[in-house]
A and B are shown apart, each in its own frame.
Chain A
Amino acid sequence: MSTGPFRVVGQSVRRLDALEKVTGQARYVTDLVQPGMLHAKLLRSPYPHARIVRADVARARLSRGVHAVVTSLDLGWCDPYFGPAFRDRPILATDVVRYEGEPVAAVVAEEEILAAEALDLIDVDYEPLPAVTTLEEALAPGAPLVHTSKPLAGHFADLASLRPEPGTNICHQFDLVRGRGAEAFAEADLVLEDVYRFPRVQHYSMEPHAALAAWNEEGGLTVWASTQNPYSVRVELARMFAVPLSRIRIIVPHLGGGFGGKTYAKLEPIVSALARIVSRPVRLALSVEEAFRTVRRCDSRARVRVGFRRDGALLAAACHADFDVGAYADIGPRIIQKGTYTATGPYRVPNVVLHAAAVYTNTTPCGAFRGFGVPQLAWALESLVDEAARRLDRDPVDLRRQNLLGHGEEYMPGDTPIDGKFEESLNQAAQSIRWTAPTDSDHGRGIAMMMKASIGPSVSEAIVRFHADASVTVLASTVEMGQGARTVLAQIAAEVLAVPLQRITVAIPDTAVTPYDQTTSSSRSTTMMGRAVQEAAEDVRDQLLHIAGHRLGVAPGRLHVADEAVVSAEHRLPYLELLGERFGMGGGELIGRGVMAPGRSAAPLGGSTPFWEMAVGAATVSVDADTGAVVVEEYVSVADVGRCINPQQCEGQDEGAVMQGIGHTLLEEMEYEAGYLLNANLAAYRVPRADDVPPRLHCRFVENADGAGPFGAKGAGEGSLIPVSPAVGNALARLTGVRFRELPLTPERVWRALQAPR
């Protein structure tokens, strides 16, 4: 691993896309137009659960400007089911609708407004069925079933061992026991157990989902999609439409935010089917209201038990978590096992019993969302650790410090040893918020931590093209959704090749051009794609050294690169000269290749995490006793990122993560009544605004260059969201003496709790 000094790594260089974004020139899917493009609109179910008796589309088909009106009956020519874990989701509802807002029919018309007009002319007769709209209802004995047929396995490799519970709404279960399991609680001096709930929340990426599909005359399919993982979409479409992978092209322009909500196929199957039916390009752009009916975070109910010895040692932990995955599984089965896997946090716990269930309900399907199952359980565990500290008469920071996993320590057999120093992060957070100094009587301070695994195994491949004028193209399928990945990849290539950043172009993801990458999620891109780009650039660099070594008659190992040239103690050969020599003309290019494919391992989830994401949050809060309004006066976030490749972008990630965390902690909840979503709009669903930013917000980083990524970096971006709710909950408990177990901490909820007799 290189220790520097670095040319461009560690610098807050300006984003590659900054200029096009501040001038309004950046193009998103809905800014694209294809010749002959038509527009689609979807008719959605008004019922949470119903049988479709009859759909009459005759009048709609005659409506002005309409090219097609499509129901499930028109999709017999393809395999209409998709989903990464189970193929349980049809392109259009087939016989049964399973949630309010599920697409039932589609209209394709000359203009969006004409398609919308025709939707009103479709007559559907439904026979309402009993619905299960909460975890309690779905898990009750004899509950109506959301799905009645045997599930079909999806394409996600490490979900081969899906464990549905036939005859129930449970579509997957995860269990893990370590040490002596539950027996060990008998030896604990303090056992605490409680149930913690996490609400239904939506990503609200400002750009709602959109996709545009066009088939060519050779039967090839191109889709411009707002997706975080073009290659997962490609494999779904290939199977559904029986087209070879090589003839499907997924192009991803800028994404207006993702946060996990744009992982795996969403709109791509339906636009592809519609474009084939009308033999014209078709675009479908959702509204925000529809995005709320497309994907959300799993709500959960977690019963967590912790057992401590009198000396503060955490002896045993148990977690029984039910996650509501909504009407279709999407990646829910993986979310529940991944989240539950680290339910015991960054602590050394010799005895563990974990159980999680993914439960179908008749509500908006769930998918990945920043934190991927971890926020739900960190909320529970970190609240309980604080309760334990109170009962053991210990300082919450001290008690945590005593139980932290150390650098290099095993978390689970077969998985990556801990690759960072939790204690350093904890100390830094405590110091930044002046933990040991007294607070004002109307303020309370709280702290919380988290540890999250990234995805393993996974694959990232990259190609670096070094052109005849010594400029560089990086081919990588990492999606730019705001996080700044393309800038970071350019910095990595520029560092290795000793060329100015301005000489580097990072191609946009296009499965016909940019090589395979599993996904832009799980905070993995800097580490996994970053390493692939680093390797590919090193491949090119080695070729340059080899050409120069041949010319000079010295071993390439005695040469290095600097300022666009290969240099030795005595010589300096500019790249331009070397390329001219290699190709004997003004053309030709050097091509470098990098592959990250660590493969499966003996770790409990089937692959080892490439790094552990770790973060600490500390909050100072106040509460208005008359209204119950909670104000986060100060927030400190510390993330162990190994090394900041671009410090300003790291800060941007974590400031955004903290604010999104404040959203589900204080403000956000999708409200349902009997299966009907009541607040699918930004007026009624309140996301954080500028005036919700804590007056003092500090995002700090621990940089020990101990990550598996380039130059010792590791992932960032999800971690800092996770401690927010327990840090605020802990601060509130220390201030008021009331322990909150349900989010969000709305004024009404807080006020009622403060009024209750204690």
Chain B
Amino acid sequence: MPPHALLLDVLRDRLGLRGAKRSCDIQVCGACTVLVDGHPVSACTHLAWEVDGCEVRTIEGLAEGESLHPLQEAFVECGAVQCGFCTSGMLMTATALLTEEVTPTREHIVHYLRGSLCRCTGYRKIIDAIAACAGGQGVKR
């Protein structure tokens, strides 16, 4: 692997994990967010060698087999998904948030999403979906 290889390119092109998306290229939009040892990072501005020896979790590893993660369920039920291009990054960011803070307030969620852009939904339903999972709960169906 060349030393300049970006984490995002390695994930997408070498490992075939194409759920993380390339958009802004400068760590603003969050579409490429993955978890490195549990912390959200922008794979577009991370060199692959920087994660040597770390655990990298992508959207492909969020569901457990056939059963969706509660956040995935909540995104579906709350209508937090439109074009889907931000969705992988949003879900990984939200996963990190709920690990750091089990019961975030709405303000906390909004603040945490400052590094995650969405151009379709207007954010409301994304915030709703994350809020529905606060306190370790899932969304009611």
Contact yes or no, A12 B85, CB < 8 A: no
Provide the bound-state CA to CA distance between A314 and B29, in Å: 46
Interface centre among B31, B75, B88 (most CB of A within 10 A): B88
Instruction: Determine if A461 is an interface residue (Cβ-Cβ < 8 Å).
Output: no
Contact yes or no, A652 B127, CB < 8 A: no
Among B12, B60, B125, point to the contact of A655 (Cβ < 8 A): B125
Contact yes or no, A206 B21, CB < 8 A: yes
Among A203, A255, A657, A689, point to the contact of B113 (Cβ < 8 A): A689
Interface string of A15-47 (1 = CB under 8 A from B): 101111111111110110000000000000000
Binds B, one of A330-338, A600-608, A690-698: A690-698
Contact yes or no, A18 B76, CB < 8 A: yes
Interface string of A239-259 (1 = CB under 8 A from B): 000000000000000111101
Among B77, B84, B91, B119, point to the contact of A254 (Cβ < 8 A): B84
Contact yes or no, B119 A204, CB < 8 A: yes
Among B25, B26, B75, B116, point to the contact of A22 (Cβ < 8 A): B75
Instruction: Determine if A14 is an interface residue (Cβ-Cβ < 8 Å).
Output: yes
Q: Chain A contacts of B68 at CB under 8 A?
A: 19, 22-23
Contact yes or no, B121 A206, CB < 8 A: no
Instruction: Determine if A658 is an interface residue (Cβ-Cβ < 8 Å).
Output: yes
State the interface size on chain A (CB cutoff 8 A): 56
* Known contacts A14-B76, A690-B116; A288/B23 CB under 8 A: yes
* Known contacts A18-B81, A23-B60, A208-B23; A652/B116 CB under 8 A: no
Contact yes or no, B23 A23, CB < 8 A: no
Contact yes or no, B119 A690, CB < 8 A: no
Instruction: Determine if B114 is an interface residue (Cβ-Cβ < 8 Å).
Output: yes
Contact yes or no, A652 B85, CB < 8 A: no
Provide the bound-state CA to CA distance between A20 and B60, in Å: 11
Contact yes or no, A24 B59, CB < 8 A: yes
Q: Chain A contacts of B87 at CB under 8 A?
A: 21-22, 24
Provide the bound-state CA to CA distance between A19 and B59, in Å: 12
Q: Chain A contacts of B82 at CB under 8 A?
A: 257, 482-484, 652, 656
Provide the bound-state CA to CA distance between A657 and B122, in Å: 7
Provide the bound-state CA to CA distance between A28 and B88, in Å: 13
Contact yes or no, A697 B122, CB < 8 A: yes
A484 — nearest CB in chain B belongs to which residue? Answer: B82
Tell me the smallest distance from the CB of B126 to a CB of chain A, in Å. Answer: 7
Contact yes or no, B23 A656, CB < 8 A: no
* Known contacts A18-B76, A655-B125, A697-B122; A25/B85 CB under 8 A: no
* Known contacts A24-B60, A691-B114; A651/B21 CB under 8 A: no
B79 — nearest CB in chain A belongs to which residue? Answer: A648
Instruction: Determine if B7 is an interface residue (Cβ-Cβ < 8 Å).
Output: no
Interface string of B85-108 (1 = CB under 8 A from A): 111100100000000000000000
Interface string of A279-294 (1 = CB under 8 A from B): 0000001011100000
Q: Chain A contacts of B124 at CB under 8 A?
A: 655, 693, 697
Provide the bound-state CA to CA distance between A289 and B29, in Å: 13
Instruction: Determine if A481 is an interface residue (Cβ-Cβ < 8 Å).
Output: yes
Contact yes or no, A655 B114, CB < 8 A: no
Instruction: Determine if A160 is an interface residue (Cβ-Cβ < 8 Å).
Output: no
Instruction: Determine if A229 is an interface residue (Cβ-Cβ < 8 Å).
Output: no
* Known contacts A287-B25, A656-B121, A691-B114; A481/B18 CB under 8 A: no
Provide the bound-state CA to CA distance between A4 and B91, in Å: 38
Which residues of chain B (27-54) have a CB below 8 Å from chain A? 28-29, 31
Among B25, B59, B120, point to the contact of A23 (Cβ < 8 A): B59
Q: Chain A contacts of B81 at CB under 8 A?
A: 15, 17-18, 21-22
Tell me the smallest distance from the CB of B104 to a CB of chain A, in Å. Answer: 13
Contact yes or no, A687 B116, CB < 8 A: no
Provide the bound-state CA to CA distance between A736 and B76, in Å: 43
B123 — nearest CB in chain A belongs to which residue? Answer: A690
Tell me the smallest distance from the CB of A112 to a CB of chain B, in Å. Answer: 9
Contact yes or no, A207 B117, CB < 8 A: no
Interface string of A174-187 (1 = CB under 8 A from B): 00000000000000
A654 — nearest CB in chain B belongs to which residue? Answer: B122
* Known contacts A24-B19, A206-B29, A689-B117; A659/B123 CB under 8 A: yes
Tell me the smallest distance from the CB of A267 to a CB of chain B, in Å. Answer: 16
Contact yes or no, B79 A651, CB < 8 A: yes
A662 — nearest CB in chain B belongs to which residue? Answer: B122
* Known contacts A652-B125, A690-B126; A682/B26 CB under 8 A: yes
Which residues of chain A (469-524) have a CB below 8 Å from chain B? 481-484
Interface centre among A12, A207, A682, A690 (most CB of B within 10 A): A690
Provide the bound-state CA to CA distance between A203 and B25, in Å: 17
Q: Chain B contacts of A30 at CB under 8 A?
A: 22
Instruction: Determine if B132 is an interface residue (Cβ-Cβ < 8 Å).
Output: no
Instruction: Determine if A427 is an interface residue (Cβ-Cβ < 8 Å).
Output: no
Tell me the smallest distance from the CB of B25 to a CB of chain A, in Å. Answer: 6
Instruction: Determine if B83 is an interface residue (Cβ-Cβ < 8 Å).
Output: yes
Query: Can you spell out 14 A-B residue pairs with CB atoms less than 8 angstroms apart?
Result: A18-B76, A20-B84, A21-B81, A22-B72, A24-B87, A24-B88, A26-B84, A207-B21, A256-B23, A256-B84, A656-B121, A660-B119, A690-B127, A697-B122
Q: Which residues of A contact B (CB under 8 A)?
A: 12, 14-15, 17-28, 30-31, 203-208, 254-257, 259, 285, 287-289, 481-484, 648-649, 651-652, 655-660, 681-683, 687-691, 693, 697
